[in-house]
Amino acid sequence: MKILTNSEVETYALAERIASKLSGGEAILLSGTLGAGKTTFTKGLAKALGVTKTVVSPTFTIIKEYQGSTLTLYHIDMYRIEDEDEIYELGIEELYQPDSVTVIEWNKMEELPERVIRIKIEVKGESQREWEIDGLESDNY
């Protein structure tokens, strides 16, 4: 399914609709160019999951953990990861738990949990984004 958003507010609303479909154990793979809105989407998702901390891009720390009201959110940025061996040294696959959601920007992993949601973000204009979403049980966002 493809959805257009025209603002950060609409991106947050999309993230909230997707968050309402999550039960834990999902990996959300975000792809798109720099500045496409991957971290903005994750901020909206975190807010919808009840995270009260400020969400920032984990570009230099690679993994950030946030506790929501019912699920833990792991936000991973693999942009600076050189190879798959480095991924496994970090133990990322251990984060896939029934009480968590893992958001991965710039995914480089082959081993993923059973429930994967793939979101491709395409910049259409200064504030307009096209979101191609695959992997949710329902296409009614």
Q: What is the pLDDT of residues 15-69, one digit of tens each?
A: 999 999 999 999 999 999 998 999 999 999 999 999 999 999 887 788 999 999 9
From 34, 73, 39, 33, select the one nearest 56 (Cα to Cα): 39
How distant, in Å, are the alpha carbons of 50, 93, 109 from that of 138?
Answer: 22, 26, 25
Domain boundaries, given as residue ranges, for the chain? 2-134
pTM, 2 dp: 0.91
Domain covering 2-134: architecture: 3-Layer(aba) Sandwich (3.40)
Using one digit for the tens of pLDDT, what is the confidence trace for 82-103? 777 777 788 778 888 999 999 9
pLDDT at 141: 47
